[in-house]
């Protein structure tokens, strides 16, 4: 007796896992700060007979029947298996995001599924990212928030998918422990032509940054969308323009080619000057910032630093405080007068704070960071400094 198509689909799907018919495709995300591939999103595909079916056709059935719970666990395990393989062939810093459905959240075993998969494949938790949507958190926000905190304790990253559809509540961005926010493709599509959509996208990006979240734009299909998102300070893009979802071999080929996002801002727009009398500090900073795409200049003392600034435009300068000849604060107060558009940062020992305080209060120093530093934190603060500098510089023509 033949079944109704929906039932048939469900019964086929229930066997798809055992039959090895499920496959993950990978869609690269491009980092707008350095132009490189930041990682990928794993998207499920089902070989139903000869035909490759898309999630739109079977995820709703999987959700309704509850099959999404075992399928979702398979996706998490498969993603970790890929991460393990990639680490073995030397691409260990790749990030992989998986989509998690509401049913998985409610099933009560998500934490165990995630930590078992990480342990089984020996994967660093920060390489795995879970993409959730806002609506699935809103059924029971307190329970969801507690679960997300436990997942964060494991060390995985969490991002909010399809932001802008459904609730789109700004308060939720601080209520849940998130790392990133993905702007839904419907906004990206309209943003270039519609002033209101553009304003919403700009506000989402600005607010997310204030809350310390990275912003990913989904469904980027045109150069115009890319350029506009870059100008608004978006951190990453995902979309057909950069790459379609592709099988593993094609994704690895993209990584091997070193594919980059087109149209990086001119180098001169992002030049960083590092001034420190200790060569080891200069090389540690250089190494830490290698992937950020800045043009990096160095100087061993303040006078050399001033010479470099006279020679070419520099947007951000980071200086040590204790240097022979001229202290960092004196150096930066000169920079303030001579190159007011250059954003000034001191990176020095905690003990130097009293000496630096006056300079901060005088506005000669924008930020004071202490040695030893935390790489990820300092990198983020430097990105922020470039963003702030760009905003200040763009305001300049309208100043009285
Ligand atoms: P999503 O998580 O928002 O994934 C992005 C979707 O947008 C993908 O569709 C991707 O192929 C598509 N896309 C990416 N760039 C572009 C673009 O430039 N233009 C256009 N028009 N589309 C673009 P896909 O692969 O069909 O997946 C659809 C949805 O199915 C996903 O939306 C996600 O919600 C769900 N899904 C996919 N895999 C899984 C999974 O393993 N588990 C669960 N629970 N859901 C999944
Ligand atoms: Mg997603
Ligand atoms: Mg999405």
Residue 10 lies in a domain: no
Same-domain pairing of 201 and 274 = no
Distance 12 CA to ligand 2 centre (A): 24
The CB of 156 under 6 Å from ligand 1? The reply is: no
The CB of 380 under 6 Å from ligand 1? The reply is: no
Q: State the pLDDT at residue 361.
A: 87
Distance 165 CA to ligand 2 centre (A): 13
Cβ neighbours for 304, distance < 8 A, ≥ 6 positions apart: 275
Same-domain pairing of 43 and 171 = yes
Q: State the pLDDT at residue 399.
A: 32
Kindly report the CATH number assigned to the domain that includes residue 371: 3.40.50.2300
372 lies in which domain range? 267-395
Q: State the pLDDT at residue 214.
A: 96
Dmax of the chain from CA atoms? 91
Same-domain pairing of 307 and 365 = yes
Choose the final residue of a domain: 204, 227, 256: 256
Cα-trace Rg, the chain: 24
Q: State the pLDDT at residue 398.
A: 40
Residue 65 lies in a domain: yes
Among 21, 23, 55, the mutation site with the greatest number of ligand 1 atoms within 8 A of its Cβ is: 55
Same-domain pairing of 172 and 288 = no
Same-domain pairing of 247 and 296 = no
Q: State the pLDDT at residue 192.
A: 78
Question: Checking phi first, is residue 166 left (phi over 0); if not, alpha (psi -120 to 50) or beta?
Answer: left
Q: State the pLDDT at residue 265.
A: 54
Choose the final residue of a domain: 256, 279, 308: 256
The CB of 23 under 6 Å from ligand 1? The reply is: no
Same-domain pairing of 284 and 234 = no
Distance 274 CA to ligand 3 centre (A): 39
Tens-place pLDDT, residues 236-283: 999 999 999 999 999 999 998 888 998 765 445 689 999 999 999 999
The CB of 99 under 6 Å from ligand 1? The reply is: yes
Q: State the pLDDT at residue 93.
A: 79
Q: Give CA angle at 339 (337, 341), nearest 5°.
A: 115
Same-domain pairing of 175 and 72 = yes
Residue 309 lies in a domain: yes
The CB of 184 under 6 Å from ligand 1? The reply is: no
Same-domain pairing of 204 and 172 = yes
The CB of 55 under 6 Å from ligand 1? The reply is: yes
Kindly report the CATH number assigned to the domain that includes residue 82: 3.20.20.450
Choose the final residue of a domain: 207, 230, 256: 256
Distance (Å) of CA 177 to CA 7, 17, 165, 331, 394: 38, 32, 20, 40, 33
The CB of 125 under 6 Å from ligand 1? The reply is: no
Same-domain pairing of 318 and 248 = no
Q: State the pLDDT at residue 205.
A: 94
Whether the ω angle into residue 201 lies within 30 degrees of 0, i.e. cis, is: no
The CB of 305 under 6 Å from ligand 1? The reply is: no
What is the domain count for the chain? 2
Residue 3 lies in a domain: no
Q: Which ligand is nearest to the CA of 162?
A: 3
Residue 110 lies in a domain: yes
In contact, 196 and 176? CB cutoff 8 Å? no
Q: What share of the chain is helix, strand, coil (3-state, %, to 5)?
A: 50, 20, 30
The CB of 43 under 6 Å from ligand 1? The reply is: yes
Q: State the pLDDT at residue 334.
A: 85
Same-domain pairing of 272 and 229 = no
Q: State the pLDDT at residue 63.
A: 93
Question: Checking phi first, is residue 211 left (phi over 0); if not, alpha (psi -120 to 50) or beta?
Answer: alpha
Tell me the pTM. 0.73
The CB of 273 under 6 Å from ligand 1? The reply is: no
Print burial letters for 260-270: b (CB count within 10 Å at least 16), e (below 16): ebeeeeeeeeb
Same-domain pairing of 73 and 141 = yes
Question: Checking phi first, is residue 212 left (phi over 0); if not, alpha (psi -120 to 50) or beta?
Answer: left
Residue 261 lies in a domain: no
Q: Which atom of ligand 1 is nearest to the CA of 240?
A: 18
Cα 165 to Cα 186: distance, rounded to the nearest angstrom: 8
Nearest CA to ligand 1 atom 35: 55
Among 99, 129, 217, 251, the mutation site with the greatest number of ligand 1 atoms within 8 A of its Cβ is: 99
Distance (Å) of CA 240 to CA 123, 181, 395: 29, 19, 34
Residue 7 lies in a domain: no
Q: Which atom of ligand 1 is nearest to the CA of 238?
A: 15
Residue 8 lies in a domain: no
Q: Which residues of the chain have pLDDT under 50?
A: 266-267, 398-400
Q: State the pLDDT at residue 122.
A: 96
The CB of 97 under 6 Å from ligand 1? The reply is: no
Q: State the pLDDT at residue 269.
A: 67
Same-domain pairing of 330 and 238 = no
């Amino acid at each position: 007796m033949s079944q109704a198509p929906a039932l048939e689909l469900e019964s086929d799907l229930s066997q798809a896992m055992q039959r090895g018919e499920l496959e993950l495709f990978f869609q690269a995300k491009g980092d707008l700060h350095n132009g490189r591939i930041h990682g990928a999103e794993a998207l499920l595909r089902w070989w139903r007979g000869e035909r490759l079916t898309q999630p739109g056709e079977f995820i709703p059935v999987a959700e309704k029947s509850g099959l999404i719970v075992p399928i979702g666990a398979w996706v998490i395990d498969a993603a970790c298996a890929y991460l393990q393989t990639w680490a073995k062939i030397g691409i260990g810093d790749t990030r992989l995001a998986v989509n998690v459905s509401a049913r998985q959240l409610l099933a009560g075993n998500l934490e165990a599924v995630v930590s078992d998969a990480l342990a089984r494949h020996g994967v660093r938790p920060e390489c795995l990212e879970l993409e959730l949507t806002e609506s699935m958190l809103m059924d029971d926000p307190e329970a969801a928030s507690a679960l997300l905190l436990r997942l964060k304790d494991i060390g995985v990253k969490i991002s909010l998918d399809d932001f802008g559809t459904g609730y789109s509540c700004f308060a939720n961005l601080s209520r849940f422990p998130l790392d990133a926010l993905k702007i839904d493709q419907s906004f990206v599509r309209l943003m270039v032509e519609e002033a209101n959509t553009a304003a919403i996208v700009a506000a989402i990006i600005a607010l997310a940054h204030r809350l310390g979240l990275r912003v990913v734009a989904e469904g980027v299909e045109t150069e115009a969308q890319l350029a506009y998102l870059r100008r608004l300070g978006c951190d990453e893009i995902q979309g057909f323009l950069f790459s379609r979802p592709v099988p593993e071999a094609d994704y690895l080929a993209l990584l091997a080619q070193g594919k980059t996002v087109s149209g990086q801002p001119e180098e001169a727009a992002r030049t960083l000057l590092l001034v420190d009398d200790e060569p080891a500090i200069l090389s540690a900073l250089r190494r830490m910032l290698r992937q950020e795409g800045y043009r990096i200049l160095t100087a061993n003392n303040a006078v050399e630093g001033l010479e470099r600034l006279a020679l070419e435009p520099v947007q951000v300068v980071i200086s040590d405080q204790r240097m022979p000849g001229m202290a960092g604060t004196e150096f930066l107060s000169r920079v303030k007068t001579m190159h007011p558009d250059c954003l000034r940062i001191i990176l020095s020992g905690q003990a130097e704070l009293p000496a630096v305080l006056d300079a901060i209060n005088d506005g000669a120093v924008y930020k004071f960071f202490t040695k030893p530093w935390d790489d990820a934190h300092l990198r983020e603060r430097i990105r922020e400094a470039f963003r702030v500098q760009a905003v200040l510089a763009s305001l300049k023509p309208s100043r009285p």
